[in-house]
Amino acid sequence: MTSFNQIIDVIKDDLQAVENILTENTASEYSFVDMAVQHVVEGGGKRLRPILVLLSANASGYKGHDAHLLAAVVELIHVASLVHDDVLDEAAIRRGRETLQTKWGNKVAVLVGDYLHARVLSMLVSRRADDPAMEILADTTQAMCEGEVIHAYKSGDFDISESEYLKIIHFKTGKLIAASCTLGAILGQNRQEHINAFTSYGQQIGTAFQIVDDLLDFVSDAEKLGKNAFGDLREGKLTYPIIHARKMCDENEKQELETVLNPDTEETEAIAYVETLFEKYSVESHCLDVAQEYADCAKHALKEVPDSEAKNALKNLADYVVSRDS
């Protein structure tokens, strides 16, 4: 098993350049805006999307500033969406740090998300005129919103099917991860089959990533997650593991599950019942199997791409997305 740090070793210096761009391009002349923005941008995380831009560019024969800039852009779009998600979810902690609305209230959090989107637009404007990145990112941000709206609208709908849910996460999560790979590939190559291979890779690992993310909310501990476990469940969010468990249930269990997921039920009781069902129907191993299938498809998508260190890193990354524990 290759470690995360080994995987990203080939683009270590590029990642540092991306961090520098993130800092420079989010500065505001207003010190308060600056502080709030830096709080979320530095909050960090693994920088999965920048890593995908950089590895995809590298595996397509490109190295340089354009990849750094686009990597920073996709990360800012991602951070902006997290800031708004936290407002929606009334989350108090993200990655072990207080969220913006805990520190400064909802208003600041909604507006900082908007501010980051505005900065993204400024960064894209600075690029050359015939830039396809703008169109890709316009489509992507639109799809992300549609996915989020539909998920918010469907929240509490017990009848959502696995395939409906997978479509929603493709929009919410998969599109930006796929776009990260597409943008990297385009920098180095303009053959459509080559670009399609990276888009397809991104779509597949995007789905794998979200399924594992959903699962970790149930099986990981708060310290590793950097937020409270069972958070999705507490907020009444139906995610892949629960949707799958419900599909396996008989009628009585379905009834009981719906009852314990009701906000009136004591939380410990709800968690205990969900854990019983997960045990009975091997939900954890099922989720990991499904995620691994997507990861395998992702690797397969790159089969015609010439071998390179970066391509190898992308393949290892697909497995890492499934095997990670936080």
Binding residues for its own copies, per CB under 8 A? 28-30, 32-33, 36, 81, 84, 87-88, 104-108, 110-115, 117-119, 121-122, 124-125, 129-130, 134-135, 137-139, 141-142, 144-146, 148-150, 152-153, 155
Q: Which two tokens stand for residue 111?
A: 């507006």
Q: Which two tokens stand for residue 325?
A: 């524990």
Between the CA atoms of 78, 66, 25 and 113, what dihedral angle is there, to the nearest 10 degrees?
-20
Minimum distance from CB of 145 to its own copies (Å)? 4
- Looking at the Cβ atoms of 122 and 192, the one nearer to its own copies is 122
- Looking at the Cβ atoms of 96 and 236, the one nearer to its own copies is 236
Minimum distance from CB of 253 to its own copies (Å)? 29
Minimum distance from CB of 265 to its own copies (Å)? 22
- Looking at the Cβ atoms of 108 and 287, the one nearer to its own copies is 108
Q: Which two tokens stand for residue 125?
A: 């404007």
Minimum distance from CB of 201 to its own copies (Å)? 24
**237 backbone dihedrals φ, ψ, rounded to 5°:** -80, 125
Helices 48-59 and 175-188 cross at an angle (nearest 10°) of 30
Q: What angle do CA 225, 169, 227 make, to 5 degrees?
A: 15
Minimum distance from CB of 326 to its own copies (Å)? 26
Whole-number Å distance between alpha carbons of 141 and 144: 5
Minimum distance from CB of 39 to its own copies (Å)? 13
- Looking at the Cβ atoms of 151 and 194, the one nearer to its own copies is 151
- Looking at the Cβ atoms of 33 and 248, the one nearer to its own copies is 33
Count Cα neighbours of 2 within 13 Å in the Cβ-side half-sphere: 16
- Looking at the Cβ atoms of 138 and 222, the one nearer to its own copies is 138
- Looking at the Cβ atoms of 90 and 289, the one nearer to its own copies is 90
Concatenate the DSSP letters of all residues of 192-253 into one string: HHHHHHHHHHHHHHHHHHHHHHHHHHHHS-HHHHTS-TTHHHHTT---HHHHHHHHH--HHH
* CB 210, CB 174: distance < 8 Å: yes
Kind and range of the H or E element at 31?
A: helix 31-43
Neighbours of 228 (CB within 10 A): 12
Minimum distance from CB of 31 to its own copies (Å)? 10
